[in-house]
Amino acid sequence: MNLIERDALKAKIDAREIFKLVMVLGAWAYRAKHIPGSLNIDDPTKILDQLDPSEEIIVYCSNFKCPASKYVYKLLTESGYQNVTGYAGGISDWEEHGLPMEGEWAE
């Protein structure tokens, strides 16, 4: 699994690079809080219809132990998506380091 570290992801966001940042947790979790600029695609059966295989895609979920982003990463790469990366730290790592969040529970 190709991984991106928190600081590298923040740099990409700050530089306004073009990529899809996808939170793969449920809609309720997304509404509560997510990394700014994220899309929410929580249904693996629909993810292939909503993302272009030529795009750079970064997937994340809640933390290092969460299997959701690993599952989606595997689904995408096995379906021919070439430029997929995982942010294993997810929301927990991002928030622990005081980085900005969006959503109803974001501070």
CB atoms within 10 A of CB 29: 19
- Give residue for tokens 């430029």: 83
Q: Domain boundaries in the chain?
A: 6-96
> What is the DSSP secondary-structure string of 34-73?
B-TT-EE---HHHHHHHS-TTS-EEEE-SSTT-SHHHHHH
Residues 90, 58: contact at Cβ < 8 Å?
no
Identify the band that residue 74 occupies on the pLDDT scale cut at 50, 70 and 90: very high
pTM of the model: 0.95
User: Which numeric CATH code is attached to 6-96?
Assistant: 3.40.250.10
Tens digits of per-residue pLDDT, 5-64? 999 999 999 999 999 999 999 999 999 999 999 999 988 888 999 999 999 999 999 999
